[in-house]
Amino acid sequence: MNEEEKNVLMDHEYDGIQEFDFQLPNWWLATFWGGIIFAVFYISYFIFMNGPSLKHEYYMEAKELRSIQKKYMAKLKDFKSNEFEKFRNDENMLLYGQAVYENNCQACHNQNAAGDIGPNLTDNHWMYFDGTSEELFKFIITGNPDAGMPAWGRNLSREELYAVSAFVESLKGFEHNDPPAKEPQGDEY
C-alpha cells in the first residue's frame, strides 16, 4: 500500500475489508451540481411560471394544422370544369375513379352503386345538391355528417376526387338486377 492509499484509507473494517475514501472527480461533481441547478430553473419555469407544456405545444401545432387544412380545403373546392372533363373523357381515369370508389365509397353505396346504407348513385335523384358535376365534386369534399357521409377532402387527393366524381357521374342510368337498386331518394334533377 502506497502513501496516497494510506491517507485515504478509512479507519473502520468489516469482515477484514477496509475501504478507501477517494474524492469524486471534478467532472462528476460539476455534472451533479449542474443537474441540480438546471432542475431548479426548469421546475421554476415550467411549473411555477407556466412555461409551455407538451400539451400547449400540441395545441399550437394542431391549430396551425387546422389553418393549413382550411386553406387546402378552400383551394380544393375550386372546381375546374376543363380539368374535370379530362377525367370524364379518359377511360383510364374512370378506372382510377372506380378504384377510388371501391376503396372508399363501396361500403355504403354498394358494389354497383345501387345504394345500401347510402343512397343509390345511379338514378337522377339527389338529396343534398342538384346533381351537377361541380356540386357532386364539392359534396364529396365536404360530405354531410348528419347524413353519415364523411368529408373525403381531407383523405383524398384532388386527382382522386376528380376521378371518383367522374366515375360516379358515369354511373347515371346504370341498370341493376342483382341486388336491386335502392328506391330513389331526394329530388329528381
pLDDT in tens, 125-169: 888 888 888 999 999 998 988 888 999 988 999 899 999 999 999
Is 82 part of any domain? Answer: yes
Do residues 113 and 44 share a domain?
no
163: domain CATH number is 1.10.760.10
What is the count of structural domains for the chain?
2
Q: Return all residues near 176 (Cβ < 8 A) that are at least 6 apart.
A: 112, 114, 122
Query: 451533479: which residue's cell?
Result: 32
Q: Which structural domain range is residue 152 located in?
A: 77-188
**Whole-model pTM above 0.75?**
no
